[in-house]
């Protein structure tokens, strides 16, 4: 039985979407049980499905910024992580505060042996349908070359196991493609990646090429990764809004927009964060996913699919294997 | 007479676009003279307009990456900068190598007195039509808080003189809006900006808000700025390509795309780098613009308009004034 635990507090629109998504998921997956930890009292429960376990926890943190204090408190996040630690759950999902989540996971569940720093790794859907692993997007604002190198090795295993990519292409995102350009940690990481024959390193790439997906894994420090990710989100949403606004000005373009609806839908589906917005916390000892606070049922179903696949393929065993030098 | 000098070598498609744009510009602006320095022999010249001066220079650099060596060579860029130094030109435009350009300008034409570092400052066209000054986008990958603070003061004068914005809103681009987030230099710069009553500092902004233009000036280190700018370029071009590709699949959406053409045209005109793609080198002692190597006639005309306005409003005098503490 695959055991998933979910911290259901912290979603912008309450825990209802979790309940619906998990119920739907469990009907289709008889090999899985899900424990929801959080404000169960807010859920209108009818006909509870099999293998869905509910633990009520409506504890509210006093000061969300005081991470040190919050690590000790009986929050739904801490309670969910405790289930991982005690072996009562195999994988975890949360939409709670990112900083708090990565700290609690690292301190309580621990890192994969030999891992310097865990990273946030969203899966970007490129326009050609390809999935690109982008890391780090904010767990480590400042990095050392060694972190990037280690993430490359972990992400390679991830890409092989989860997407069946034999020899994933690895790039370093940089301000230019010439090898003399960039910050010291980027240039140093390029040397480490180039020297390792087990990695398919393809050189620097500029951030403008991200959705063309000429690679499977894009490495960058957490500061740069966060700026890139949010710039893409912002540009696409702004462009979409602008089309809407401009199209409504004339009858001709209004009709055009109506006819083009399937096109917009297709593109937004490809780019929709709900199809890819979950970010893995790569480098911790258990499979852990972070989802947006604004996630809806679709987003949660996608996260559940990914977690199920990670458990099904014993992803963590292989990630630990690469850290031990056994793969 | 306003005297503009242009280094015409270094454009991807040759110097023809410069010649056409400058000829058109000079017919409309009798108060200006333009000197073109570069491969004049490549130009098919007919009916040369008044106040257009041509200096042939087809010198090719041996190694484009050897900036130290190239500073000494008789390139068109160096020759154009020399005209600034000798007072034979008041402002300069070049589409040549960015690193080379900023080095040569700083060393030969010098900085505004008291300026720590010059910055690359493109003018971003937001979707609401507002212009946003974004700096730095790559001249200084690593910065100190003091650079950001100084750029705020210079950009404020720029916004007031060039766009008549009385009290431009200033933001720091960061990975979050909470004051405890971000790299040290960003948090330090926030304190400096907040403490200065002459600046309208509005706090941190995330990179996803750039095209909403809730501010007039966006400050960031050159590394982050470069990644943001190129991410926006990439997202918009990718989105446009995707619409085209997807729309062509069905007759219905093909017709929709045809009817929506005015909308796409309107948006792309707003976002087109040619309407805003020129970047100012803010902090050097003379008005200096860098344009894309892929610039066409429209882009050059826009750059000429901006340079004309800068000379017309004595921009440099006021920029020096603020550095001397007189404004």
Task: Considering only the beta carbons, identify the residue of A207, A235, A256 that sits closest to B256.
Answer: A256
Question: Band of the pLDDT at B128, cuts 50, 70, 90?
Answer: confident
Task: Considering only the beta carbons, identify the residue of A212, A238, A253 that sits closest to B211.
Answer: A238
Average pLDDT of chain B, as a whole number? 91
Instruction: State the Rg of chain A over Cα.
Output: 21
Residues in CB range of B195: below 8 A, 6 or more apart: none
What pLDDT digit, counting tens, does each position of A146-205 carry? 999 999 999 999 999 999 999 999 999 999 999 989 999 999 999 999 999 999 999 999
Whether residues A270 and B242 touch (CB distance < 8 A) is answered with yes
Mutate to test the interface with A, among B178, B204, B259, B277 (most CBs of A within 10 A): B259
d(CA B117, CA B102): 10
A210 CA: distance to closest CA in chain B (Å) = 7
Query: Hunting for tokens 């490549």 — which residue is that?
Result: B42
pLDDT for B84 equals 96
Which chain A residues are Cβ-neighbours of B267 within 8 angstroms? 239, 242-243, 246
C-alpha distance from residue B29 to each of A40, A210, B8, B34 (Å): 72, 43, 20, 11
pLDDT for B213 equals 87
Query: pTM of the prediction?
Result: 0.93
Domain B1-115+284-326 has CATH 3.40.718.10: yes
pLDDT for A24 equals 96
Task: Considering only the beta carbons, identify the residue of A141, A234, A239 that sits closest to B239.
Answer: A239
Residues in CB range of A251: below 8 A, 6 or more apart: none
What pLDDT digit, counting tens, does each position of B196-241 carry? 999 999 999 999 999 988 999 999 999 999 999 999 988 888 888 8
Nearest-10 Cα torsion for B275, B277, B282, B284: -100
**E strands along A152-229, which residues?**
169-174, 200-206, 217-219
Which chain A residues are Cβ-neighbours of B208 within 8 angstroms? 230-231, 233-234, 237
Task: Considering only the beta carbons, identify the residue of A211, A237, A260 that sits closest to B260.
Answer: A260
- CB-CB neighbours of A65 under 10 Å: 12
Which chain B residues are Cβ-neighbours of A257 within 8 angstroms? 256, 260, 263
Q: Tell me: cis bond preceding A136? Omega within 30 of 0 counts.
A: yes
Tell whether the model's pLDDT for residue B271 goes beyond 80.
no
Question: Band of the pLDDT at A128, cuts 50, 70, 90?
Answer: confident
Closest to A93 in 3D by CA, of A34, A32, A39: A34
d(CA B213, CA A315): 43
Residues in CB range of B78: below 8 A, 6 or more apart: B70, B71, B104, B108
Kindly state the percentage of chain A with pLDDT values over 90. 67
A92: left (phi over 0), alpha (psi -120 to 50) or beta: beta
Whether residues A232 and B227 touch (CB distance < 8 A) is answered with no
A248 → chain B, closest CA residue: B263
Which chain B residues are Cβ-neighbours of A266 within 8 angstroms? 246
pLDDT for A242 equals 84
- DSSP helix/strand/coil, A124: strand
d(CA A239, CA B216): 20
pLDDT for A221 equals 98
Average pLDDT of chain A, as a whole number? 91
Whether residues A173 and B224 touch (CB distance < 8 A) is answered with no
Measure the N-to-C terminal CA separation of chain B; round to a whole number of Å: 27
Tell whether the model's pLDDT for residue A261 goes beyond 60.
yes
Whether residues A259 and B256 touch (CB distance < 8 A) is answered with yes
Which chain A residues are Cβ-neighbours of B127 within 8 angstroms? 238, 241-242
d(CA B62, CA B73): 10
The CATH-assigned architecture of domain B122-274 is 3-Layer(aba) Sandwich (3.40)
Closest to A11 in 3D by CA, of A49, A46, A37, A47: A37
Strands B91-94 and B2-7: parallel
pLDDT for A3 equals 98
Tell whether the model's pLDDT for residue B275 goes beyond 60.
no
pLDDT for B250 equals 85
Whether residues A210 and B234 touch (CB distance < 8 A) is answered with yes
B287 CA: distance to closest CA in chain A (Å) = 25
Mutate to test the interface with A, among B208, B249, B251, B257 (most CBs of A within 10 A): B208
Task: Considering only the beta carbons, identify the residue of A180, A227, A250 that sits closest to B227.
Answer: A227
Tell whether the model's pLDDT for residue B267 goes beyond 80.
no
Query: Hunting for tokens 């050059």 — which residue is that?
Result: B300
Residues in CB range of B222: below 8 A, 6 or more apart: A175, B119, B120, B136, B137, B138, B139, B140, B141, B142, B143
Question: Band of the pLDDT at A273, cuts 50, 70, 90?
Answer: low
Could you tell me where in chain A the CATH 3.40.718.10 domains are found?
A: 1-115+284-326, 122-274
Which chain A residues are Cβ-neighbours of B210 within 8 angstroms? 231, 234-235
Which chain B residues are Cβ-neighbours of A226 within 8 angstroms? 175, 207
Whether residues A230 and B180 touch (CB distance < 8 A) is answered with no
Whether residues A175 and B212 touch (CB distance < 8 A) is answered with no
- Mean pLDDT, residues A210-221: 94
What pLDDT digit, counting tens, does each position of A34-93 carry? 999 999 988 888 888 999 999 999 887 778 778 888 899 999 999 999 999 999 999 999
pLDDT for A32 equals 97
Instruction: Dig out the tokens for B159 from the structure.
Output: 């916004």
What pLDDT digit, counting tens, does each position of A91-120 carry? 999 999 888 999 999 999 999 999 999 999
The phi, psi pair for B73, rounded to 5°, reads: -90, 160
B225 CA: distance to closest CA in chain A (Å) = 9
Looking at per-residue pLDDT, the higher value among A301 and B248 belongs to: A301
pLDDT for B63 equals 80
B41 CA: distance to closest CA in chain A (Å) = 31
Task: Considering only the beta carbons, identify the residue of A233, A241, A247 that sits closest to B260.
Answer: A247
Whether residues A138 and B175 touch (CB distance < 8 A) is answered with yes
Question: Band of the pLDDT at A27, cuts 50, 70, 90?
Answer: very high
Looking at mean pLDDT, say which of A189-193, A264-268, B259-263 comes out highest: A189-193
- DSSP helix/strand/coil, B265: helix
Whether residues A241 and B127 touch (CB distance < 8 A) is answered with yes
Whether residues B141 and A175 touch (CB distance < 8 A) is answered with yes
Angle, to 10 degrees, between the axis of helix A251-259 and the axis of helix B261-271? 100
Whether residues B263 and A270 touch (CB distance < 8 A) is answered with no
Is residue B13 within 8 A of residue B95, CB to CB? The reply is no
Is residue B84 within 8 A of residue B4, CB to CB? The reply is no
């Amino acid at each position: 039985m695959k055991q998933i635990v979910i911290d259901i507090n912290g979603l912008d629109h309450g825990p209802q979407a979790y309940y619906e998504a998990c119920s739907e998921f469990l009907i289709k997956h008889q090999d899985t049980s899900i424990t929801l930890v959080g404000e169960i009292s807010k859920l209108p429960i009818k006909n509870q499905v099999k293998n869905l376990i509910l633990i009520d926890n409506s504890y509210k943190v006093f000061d969300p910024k005081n991470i040190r204090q919050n690590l000790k408190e009986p929050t739904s996040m801490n309670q969910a992580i405790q289930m991982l630690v005690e072996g009562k759950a195999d994988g975890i999902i949360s939409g709670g505060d990112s900083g708090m989540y990565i700290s609690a996971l690292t301190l309580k569940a621990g890192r994969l042996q030999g891992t310097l720093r865990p990273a946030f790794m969203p899966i970007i859907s490129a326009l050609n349908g390809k999935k690109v692993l982008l890391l780090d997007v904010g767990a480590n604002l400042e990095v050392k070359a060694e972190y990037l190198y280690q993430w490359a090795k972990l992400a390679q295993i991830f890409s092989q196991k989860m997407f069946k990519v034999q020899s994933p292409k690895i790039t370093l995102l940089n301000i230019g493609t010439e090898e003399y350009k960039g910050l010291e940690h980027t240039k140093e990481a390029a040397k480490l990646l180039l020297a390792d024959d087990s990695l398919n390193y393809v050189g620097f790439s500029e951030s403008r090429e991200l959705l063309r997906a000429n690679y499977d894994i894009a490495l960058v420090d957490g500061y740069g990764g966060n700026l890139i990710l949010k710039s893409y989100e912002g540009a696409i949403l702004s462009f979409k809004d602008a089309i809407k606004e401009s199209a409504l000005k004339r009858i001709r373009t209004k009709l055009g927009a109506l006819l083009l609806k399937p096109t917009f839908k297709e593109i937004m589906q490809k780019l929709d964060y709900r199809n890819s917005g979950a970010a893995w916390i790569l480098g911790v000892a258990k499979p852990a996913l972070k989802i947006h606070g604004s996630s809806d049922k679709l987003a949660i179903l996608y996260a559940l699919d990914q977690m199920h696949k990670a458990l099904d393929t014993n992803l963590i065993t292989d990630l630990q294997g690469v850290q031990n030098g056994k793969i």
